[in-house]
Structure 1
Amino acid sequence: MSAQEQQDPTRRHPRPEFPQQDQPHPGLTGRMEPEPDHGESSYRGSDRLADRKAVVTGGDSGIGRAVALAFAREGADVLFTYLAEEEKDARETARLVEEAGRKAVPLLCDIREESECRRLVDRAVAEFGRIDVLVNNAAFQMAQPESIEGIGTEQFDRTMRTNLYGMFWLSKLSLPHIPAGGSIINTTSVQGYKPSPHLLDYAMTKGAIVTFTQGLAQYLAERGIRVNAVAPGPVWTPLIPATMPDTSEFGEQSPLGRPAQPAEMAPAYVFLASQEASYITAEIVNATGGTPLP
């Protein structure tokens, strides 16, 4: 069945129960069962981002890979970041971007450090001359069944620095290189509105991303730079077996009865980056599988 044919969303992709699986953080795509769908066989571009220059953090796997693939098939060149443990996945993302006929720039980069964020922006400008779309997608989470009592300072600091500091620094440092018509797209979460106690620190950051998005959008409106965010619900990515104690029923709580696949998130990012969204800024696109959000 093709992606264009009408399909029952509750049955389009795998549903729980999944095999119980564990991986060391940050996890790898090829070890997951079932393996995530990033749109490799289904996403078809139509030049909606022709000749755009994009930066995607956390582009080696999951939502980031799906966005990099979709952007490339829409005509964009893509620089994406990855961690050392994710090199195998990063090579596959680069292959997909290049297979679409676009330039791929994989960059080993830890956005927890301001100097690394500066290096990232400098590399993007050296490669592309500008940044048309910045996608702040990289994130860290680690489930703690004891909630606040189980969250140590090291975990708390890593969550804050990855999810908030990196986004802040990259947005600030990229601004001189984003032309009018460009955009920043952040990744928040259903957790920002409906926090789970076992993901308390992660949920805190996702709520902050909503506020950051809406405030920055107002400031940059007069420059013609739009700022929006996507709020996914449960998504089947390597972060799940690497950070959750039980994967067997993951996504079952969604009204659609299953987790999203990364491929189902990418079109929202494409839309927000495209000219079709020229009057949309300070908005949060909810892609939660039916969970109502404010």
Structure 2
Amino acid sequence: MDLRDTVAVVTGGGTGIGRATALALARAGARGVVVNYSRSAEDAEATAGELTASGCEAVAERADVGDDEQVRAMARRVLERFGRVDVLVNNAATTFRVAHEDLDGLTDEAFAHVLDVNVLGPFRVVRAFAADLRDARGAVVNIASISAYRAGGSSIAYGVSKAALLQLTRNLAVALAPEVRVNSVAPGTVATRWQTDLRGEEGFAEWARAERETVPLRRTSEPEHVAQAVLGLLAMDQVTGEAVILDGGKHVTY
């Protein structure tokens, strides 16, 4: 897929992996990038400003992926402005930090909310843009997690949601074929605000230092590494329904 003159939508695009991916798409020649957000308006506007300064037409679009009406309204605005959508990156996600053994601590409401945002959210966005992605013979990349494969992560709900996202990726790869390819990236630890919010700055620094001792590449992943994987999958015209694990090789030593 040649990204020159394409239009991309990145959910949760204002910070971290979403921001890095939006900037990478612009560098690859995207004509337009939609920076979706639900709460971080200032960050999304700042990212859109960076993209605009680089010569890409960018807009920050508020829509909670947990709300189908908001998602469909965003899709209408995007099509009115750009006339097409070639790339969709489903990056928006949420979690709660609940120890896995604390079953009572993970309420039904919390579990349902994580599934709603992390699984139904990407489905809603794909559904809203499906016809336009088909017209453009476009591509989707979902941002999953190593927690989809392992009994770890911030909570049971988060791991289950990311495992479900991998299956959603496979199902959508069939449902949208042959016009649209759908793949996913499953990062391990990535140095983002998401991690420092969960663990605190000192807590994350210590966690990452200890983990590097077990990672073959001896590096902590940065958002830009995930963006590289996203663009790599977009370039692979004969690949669909697949997941790329991005954790410096740690998963091969588990």
Greater share of helix:
2
Asked if Structure 1 and Structure 2 have the same fold, meaning a TM-score greater than 0.5 normalized by the shorter chain, the answer is: yes
Counterpart residue identity of residue 213, structure 1: T
Distance verdict in 2 for CA 1:258–1:219, change over 3 Å:
same
Are 2:245 and 1:266 equivalent residues in the alignment?
no
- The C-alpha deviation readout for 1:59-98, integer Å capped at 9, x for no partner, is 01010000000001111110011133x2222122112211
Q: Which residue of 1 aligns with 2:96?
A: 142
Structure 1 residue 197 displacement after superposition: 6.3
- Could you tell me how far 1:170 is from its partner in structure 2? 0.9
Q: Report the aligned-residue RMSD.
A: 2.0
Q: How many Å apart are 1:198 and its aligned residue?
A: 4.5
Return the letter of the residue paired with 2:175. Y
TM-aligned CA deviation for residue 139 of structure 1? 0.5
Secondary structure at the counterpart of residue 211 of structure 2: coil
TM-score calculated relative to the size of structure 2 = 0.89
- Counterpart of 1:135, as a letter, is V
Q: Deviations over 1:5-36 (max 9, x none)?
A: xxxxxxxxxxxxxxxxxxxxxxxxxxxxxxxx
Measure the CA separation in 1 of the matches of 2:102 and 2:242. Answer: 30
Structure with larger RCO (C-alpha < 8 A, sep 6+): 1
Partner of 1:12: none
Distance in 2 (CA, whole Å) between partners of 1:71 and 1:173 is 21
Paired residue secondary structure (2:177): helix
Q: Percent identity?
A: 34
**Cα offset for 1:280?**
0.8
Q: Matched residues in 2 for 1:127 and 1:63: separation?
A: 25
Give the gaps of 5 or more residues in structure 2.
none
SS at match of 1:141: coil
SS of residue in 2 equivalent to 1:278? coil
Match of 2:144 in 1: 188
Q: Per the alignment, in what secondary structure is the counterpart of residue 285 of structure 1?
A: strand
Runs of 4+ in 1 over 3 A off after TM superposition: none
Question: How far did residue 257 of structure 1 move?
Answer: 4.1
Letter in 2 for 1:212: L
- Indicate yes or no: 2:198 matched with 1:243: yes
Given candidates 236, 243, 247, the residue that maps to 1:284 is 243
DSSP 3-state at the match of 1:60: coil
**Per the alignment, in what secondary structure is the counterpart of residue 47 of structure 2?**
helix
Task: Name the aligned partner's letter for residue 107 of structure 1.
Answer: E
How much has 1:151 moved relative to structure 2? 1.1
> How many angstroms does 1:137 deviate by?
0.6
Question: Size of the alignment, in residue pairs?
Answer: 244
Q: Given the two structures, how large is their TM-score scaled by the length of structure 1?
A: 0.78
Alignment of 1:144-183 (within 5 A): 144-145=98-99, 146-178=101-133, 179-183=135-139
AA in 1 matched with 2:60: P
Which AA in structure 1 matches 2:35?
Answer: F
